[in-house]
Structure 1
Amino acid sequence: MAEAIASMLSARIVLLVRPFRIVSRRFGAFVPPGDPRVRNRPPATLREARIAREIRWAIAASAPFMPFRSVCLQQAMAGHAMLKRRGVHSAMHFGAGLGGKGSARPIDAHAWLDAGGVKVTGYPVAPNLAELGCFV
């Protein structure tokens, strides 16, 4: 949990001081959702799946207690960094859709993370969101 807290705090600070276009260079290639690098990824091994589930738990358990509102992007960035440190490949997805009826925001945006089929952060994804692309 300490690493999850530190990773979410780091993501928060980085996003406050640097533009996302600069920060995102560390995430890999941004590709459309139908790209073969996304569709044809092998499932996680037992070891990778265990690690991804442990990271999912650590982020979900610690996010409500952060001294700031830890949103989906910070959680996805933290999970991505934690998985990368362990040699586990992940995909960070980005989507957008029209805000729901009565919503204060005209557009909803969301980030979610998976690792070889294991849902790490940002799930479930709202049905009104269309995936725009992902970092692989």
Structure 2
Amino acid sequence: MAQSAAHRLRTALLMGPRRQLLVAEACVSMFVARVSLAIFPFRQVAKSFGVMVPPNDPRVLAYAEGATEEQARTARMVSWAVRVSAPHMPFRSVCLQQAMAAHAMLKRRGIVSIMHFGAGKGEQKPIDAHAWLDAAGVKVTGYPVAPTLAELGCFV
């Protein structure tokens, strides 16, 4: 355990200040998402995601058009920060919290993202629900999506 903690500290120190700040932002954003979901009804939290539309809505299909390579690079960096931070949170950071965190981080940078919601028959419980996020043509969080899930809607 001590070796693992020392290894994590060394890795964090070697990643450089820009990545350290991005990881810190991802951690804070996941914490805010967790607290928001614990305090407020989902309906109220969802207002910050945009408008809920069906998956085949033209706005969903056209979201990546016009995205620049710089926006795609930023989306990949946000994806990385959320992905590496989530397992080390002091709570279980699930797909919705990760998607919410990445959505907020991208929104602060002026990058449009699409938050998808799906559900399907679960193996260990009656129904599985999942959230995933795309931005600038990048699969940001929640991938891969299980083939047993049906997409119910998205926020644009």
Q: Same fold (TM over 0.5)?
A: yes
Q: CA deviation at 1:45?
A: 1.1
Moved over 6 A (4+): none
Q: Which of 48, 59, 66 pairs up with 1:37?
A: 59
Q: Which residue of 2 aligns with 1:52?
A: 75
Unaligned runs of 5+ residues in structure 2 are 1-22
Q: Which of 108, 112, 124 pairs up with 2:144?
A: 124
- Counterpart residue type for residue 98 of structure 2: Q
Unaligned runs of 5+ residues in structure 1 are none
Q: Which has the larger radius of gyration?
A: 2
- Counterpart residue type for residue 65 of structure 1: H
Deviations 1:103-131 (A, max 9, x none): 1x100000000002200000000000000
Query: What is the distance in 2 between the residues matched to 1:133 and 1:99?
Result: 19
Query: What is the distance in 2 between the residues matched to 1:109 and 1:73?
Result: 9
Q: Which residue of 2 aligns with 1:23?
A: 45
Percentage of pairs with the same residue: 68
* 8 Å CA contact retained: 1:44, 1:118: no
Count of matched residue positions in the alignment of Structure 1 and Structure 2: 133
Q: Which of 102, 105, 128 pairs up with 1:79?
A: 102
Query: What is the distance in 1 between the residues matched to 2:66 and 2:94?
Result: 27
Deviations 1:7-51 (A, max 9, x none): 000000000000000000011000000000001221531010010
* Bigger relative contact order (CA 8 A; separation at least 6): 1
- Counterpart residue type for residue 32 of structure 1: P
SS at match of 1:57: helix
Q: Which residue of 2 aligns with 1:63?
A: 86
More helix per residue:
2
Deviations 1:46-79 (A, max 9, x none): 0100100000000011100000000000000000
* 8 Å CA contact retained: 1:43, 1:117: no
Matched, 1:89 2:112: yes
What is the TM-score with the length of structure 2 in the denominator?
Answer: 0.84
What is the TM-score with the length of structure 1 in the denominator?
Answer: 0.96
